[in-house]
Amino acid sequence: MAETNNNHYVAKDFKSDQEVRWCPGCGDHGILASLQKTLAELDIPKEKYVFVSGIGCSSRLPYYMNTYGFHGIHGRAAAIATGIKIANPDLLVWEMTGDGDALAIGGNHFIHAIRRNIDIKIILFNNEIYGLTKGQYSPTSKKGLVTKTSPYGTIEEAFKIGELTIGAHGRFFARTVDYNLQLSNEVYKEAARFHGTAVVEVLQNCVIFNDGAFDAFTNKETRDDNTIVLHHGQPMIFGKNRDKGIILVNLKLKVVRLGEGGITEKDLLVHDAHEPNPGIHYRLAGMTYPEYPVALGVIRAISDQTYDAAMLEQHTKVQGKSKIKSVDDLLMSGSTWKVK
Amino acid sequence: MGKRSKVIERDAVVIRFSGDSGDGMQLTGTLFSNTSALFGHDISTFPDYPAEIRAPQGTVGGVSGFQVHIGHKLINTPGDFTDVLVAMNPAAVKANAMWLKAGSTIIYDSDNFTEKQIQRAGYKADPFTEDKLDSMNLIGAPITSMVKEALKDMEIDPKTVLRTKNMFALGMVYWLFDSKLKYTEDFIGEKFGKKPLVAEANSKVLRAGYYYAETIEALTPSYHISPAPIVKGTYRNINGNQATAWGFLAAAEKADLKLFIGSYPITPATGILEELALRKDLGVRSLQAEDEIAGICTAIGASFTGRLAVTSTSGPGLALKSEALNLAVMTELPLVVVDVQRGGPSTGLPTKTEQSDLWQALYGRNGESPVPVIAAGTPSDCFTYAFQAAKIAVEYMTPVILLTDSYLANGSEPWKIPSMKDMPAIKVPYAVKTDKEYQAYERDPEKLARSWAIPGTPGLEHRIGGLEKTIKGSVSYTPENHEYMVRMRDEKVERIVNEVPDLEVTGNKKGDMLVIGWGSTYGHIYTAVTELREEGYKISAAHFNYIRPLPKNTAKVFSGFGKLVVCELNTGQFANYLRMKHQRFTYHQYNRLQGLPFTVGEIKDYCKKLLEGK
């Protein structure tokens, strides 16, 4: 991907003339700002981008980006994005979606886009609630959550987006937090540079219907103890005092304290985002608070052939061999006969 | 080859190959049709097969049939009743007994008429006696044992030996029709090129069947049909699905657009996706989507980027696609949705034909959702109407529904190959960058089409979607704006009438009765009306390919006749549509819902009774 086209973009260049209509304080504002900053820094001509979405609060984002944009229907953003990318692989396709849009009504398209490794970037705003319909539980709502449609608490198990992604043969999975602009910027850039389906889960606070769902990971007092930011090649250390780490015991991840029981930094797992075997990535993506810190950053990024590249390769091959170069050739191919 | 004792010169003959769904009857029928077409006969075919890939052997439910009508005159239907039936087992006799003409020839594999097989077919005693077929020309040939005998010296497994039975039957039929074996032998050579033993076995059995028929001469009288008076040109055989796929390719080439198809396999539409998946040489991007919804949504995405996008499906799939189809209505993007109709509702009759998705195509969506609807009339004119559907979609920036059905999709006929230079031009309404800001819903004053801004073009960045928009392309819930946009979308579709050719009349423009049809019933209605005219009735026919909008001269045509009869394979969906659109007329209806095409005879009977006031 060409990084410098000398467009000298600033974030404002990616703002459309539409008034942003999310609730004040909504995490979506943070996501929009980080994306606009990221795109400005990537400095790729803005007409190359297509922002695609489904339905929900997240899915209004394309209207606010001064790029090509397509606001689809509920759940179908991944399918629309797939069509756009296959039709014109030169376009840079970003899908904006939410936990209801991508994992409930659109679950099928989500897993199949990932399986095919279409080169699209899926930014999944996870607020663990349905916001636009005013507060019903979603496929990522924690079990027991009381909402308007689960007045006695949900009795459903929640999806973990990372596990689902990796289970669908995902090659790229990252997690960030809505208002952590620095981490988000870093993660979105990694996703942009990655060739293939990149899923980024953004923990996004819904101030109205599920406020504080991620407080433990965003609050300055607790966030460093409750999250771990993974960096490829770095040991897995976290905590306000950088005194905690993660090791592997009996095929399970375990949180340890440095210095306790003779544990040193050398005993900790070193993050290898490029390891094709999904075992550790799956476990890292599945870590939940309070037993574990929640993993942030790029958890998995393995290179593989993309669908679009394989498709172009196949086209070139077939076109090289085939005698049919036009519709006239096709119509006259095979058995024909003349009537005189 | 042997001299024939008695040859009957015929104008047209109907042959039906019938057996278990694993007996290779579809292939046998196709090979026979192609041979006849190459000889210069006009043909029309009708495959009729069960939904199950291998239904229980020997049962009536498992019978697979392929009917072909060949003629010296022009043939417009696969024929109502059969002159020659090839029955590989008793179930095939049972399934077809009611479709035999008096004096038909039945060629059957006598080895398969065991007590067990007879019972399995549901007969108590001799099938021919029980179904009162004794007076037919019955030719029992021990096909199974003859095949075994013919191949006894070859080192091939018994399963492969039995699989060649269809070639023996085909060989017999070729003798009966004085046909050449060459085309079929070439086909065998090509198909089994990598398995020379299998190829040899099939060829050997084909000839064995031919010589057997010659030897027993029990088949006489045999038939001779002279070539049909067909317009000069180069011809090929084509079925509806192939013609549909090729029509899209032709439109893409004419419009200088690349074709995209996103589809999900569904009977009987899958052939379109299969055909286009082959055409990477012509730049087609095809995707077998994860479901029907993804099929249309990927197509909408492709359309947004500036490709000619299509999706193919059948009734149940159209139901699943309806929400996304409305997204194409709202975003005003070109898209063709082909519905290859089958018997419904629900899974219904997956392999049988019906015209019962008309209302779904016209009305099956939320909100005010105008979509042009076009229907093809014969297998080969699926090419023309696929082309027209694409042309309208692009020029008017709208989704279009193309209706075909199982009968057209699988039926085939000879087709005079058109030249691309003779196909009409397609003008793409591209948006161009000007000093003014691009407005997504600014319309061409004549067609009311918006312009197509292709992503990747600098300066035309815009956002569209399913929410109501202003002309500028901003989201708007303003009451006046919504009403305005609803009416504009509707008016745009109405203006497509300017592209619709006038309704033509077969026969005089005035008379006692006009028989009205739409879509795939063309051949049967045309034949019935032509025959009635020959019998002296003052009757004409008018056939619709453009359903929405209807041709401008519709009312004028209707007003020339005493009685209007609408014939269709549903409970009266088109008749009721006409009642709404042209209220001053009275419409009679003739409807069938048996998963089968009309017969010419039943249409004639109904019309005669109505004309004679019975």
Spell out the domain ranges in chain B.
Answer: 7-224, 237-422, 505-611
Crossing angle for the helix pair B240-255 and B381-396, to the nearest 10 degrees: 40
Q: How far does A35 lie from chain B, in Å, by closest CA?
A: 17
Residues of A in contact with B466 (CB under 8 A): 55, 71-73
> In terms of DSSP bridges, do strands B63-71 and B42-48 run parallel, antiparallel, or are they unpaired?
antiparallel
CA distance A123 to A180: 15
pLDDT of residue B57: 85
Distances (CA, A) of B200 to A35, B187, B197, B470: 67, 12, 5, 69
As a whole number, the mean pLDDT across chain A is: 96
Mean pLDDT value across residues A247-253: 96
* Residue of A179, A175, A99, A202 lying closest to A142 (CA atoms): A99
The CA distance from B147 to B145, in Å, is 5
Q: How many whole angstroms from its chain centre is CA B116?
A: 37
Predicted-complex ipTM score: 0.97
Backbone phi, then psi, for A132, in 5-degree steps? -65, -25
Residue B336: per-residue pLDDT: 98
Assess whether pLDDT exceeds 90 at residue A7. no
* CA within 13 Å, CB half, A57: 28
Once rounded to an integer, what is the mean pLDDT over residues A40-65? 97
Contact: B294, A339; criterion CB under 8 Å: no
State the residue for tokens 């029709």. B177
B36-93 pLDDT, tens digit each: 988 888 999 998 887 777 778 889 988 999 999 999 888 999 999 999 999 999 999 9
- Read off the DSSP letter of residue A105: I
**Which of A21, A49, A60, A73 would you mutate first to test chain B, the one with the most B CBs within 10 A?**
A73
Which of A51, A72, A87 comes nearest B327 by C-beta?
Answer: A72
- Residue burial B92-110, b: 16+ Cβ < 10 Å; e: rest: bbbbbbebbbeebbbbbbe
- Which numeric CATH code is attached to B505-611? 3.40.50.920
Closest-CA distance of chain A to residue B462, Å: 5
A334–B305 C-beta distance less than 8 A = no
Question: Nearest Cβ partner of B458 from A47, A109, A340?
Answer: A47
| Spatial separation of the C-alpha atoms in residues B380 and B31, rounded to whole Å | 18
Best CA proximity match to A200, nearest among A48, A85, A98, A91: A98
B334-363: pLDDT as tens digits: 999 999 999 999 999 999 999 999 999 999
- Could you give the CA distance from residue A207 to residue A58 in angstroms, rounded to a whole number? 14
Chain B residue with Cα closest to A311 = B285
pLDDT at residue B219, rounded to an integer: 58
Give the torsion sign (CA, B177, B178, B183, B184): positive
Which residues of chain B are modeled with pLDDT < 50?
1-2
Which tens digits make up the pLDDT trace of A263-321? 999 999 999 999 999 999 999 999 999 999 999 999 999 999 999 999 999 999 999 99
pTM for this structure?
0.93
State the Cα–Cα distance between residues B234 and B277, nearest whole angstrom. 26
Token representation of residue A225: 């103890």
Task: Quote the tokens at residue B323.
Answer: 């929400």
Asked if B309 and A83 come within 8 Å (Cβ–Cβ), the reply is yes
Contact B323, B366 (CB under 8 A): yes
pLDDT of residue B443: 98
The answer to whether the CB atoms of A335 and B301 lie below 8 A apart is: no
- How many Cβ pairs within 8 Å bridge chains A and B? 202
| SS3 label, residue B68 | strand
- Inter-chain CB proximity A83 and B324 less than 8 Å: no
The correct answer on CATH 3.40.50.300 for the domain covering B237-422 is no
Report how far Cα A107 is from the mean position of its chain's Cα atoms. Answer: 14
Task: Tell me the DSSP string of B325-378.
Answer: HHHHHHHT--EEEEEEE-B-STT-BTTS---TTHHHHHH-SSSS----EEE--S
CA distances from B358 to A233, A259, B221, B339, B362 (A): 62, 76, 46, 10, 6
- Give the three-class secondary structure for A55: coil
Q: Which domains does chain A have, with CATH numbers?
A: 11-234+272-310 (3.40.50.970), 235-270 (no CATH)
Q: Which fold has domain B7-224?
A: Pyruvate-ferredoxin Oxidoreductase; domain 3 (3.40.920)
A126: CB partners within 8 A, 6+ apart: A98, A99, A140, A161, A201, A202, A203, A204
Enter the DSSP assignment of A101.
Answer: I
Q: Which of B281, B294, B297 sits opposite A322 (nearest CB)?
A: B281
Cα–Cα distance for residue pair B326/B296, rounded to 1 Å: 11
Please name the residues in contact with B519: beta carbons below 8 A apart, sequence gap of 6 or more.
B355, B375, B376, B377, B403, B404, B405, B408, B544, B545, B568
Domains B7-224 and B505-611 agree in fold? no
* Interface contact flag, A83 B306, Cβ < 8 Å: no
In angstroms, rounded to a whole number, what is the distance separating the alpha carbons of residues B433 and B566? 50
Among A69, A79, A337, the residue with its CB nearest the CB of B298 is A79
pLDDT of residue B226: 83
Would you call A331 and B289 a contact, using CB atoms and an 8 Å cutoff? no
Which among B233, B290, B457 is the nearest to A47, CB-wise?
B457
Q: Is B134 helix (H, G, I), strand (E, B) or coil?
A: coil
Q: Which residue of B has its CA nearest to A61?
A: B463
Q: Is A11 left (phi over 0), alpha (psi -120 to 50) or beta?
A: alpha
C-alpha distances out from residue B181 to B24, B172, B414, Å: 18, 11, 19
Contact assessment for residue B79 and residue B98, using Cβ atoms and an 8 Å cutoff: no
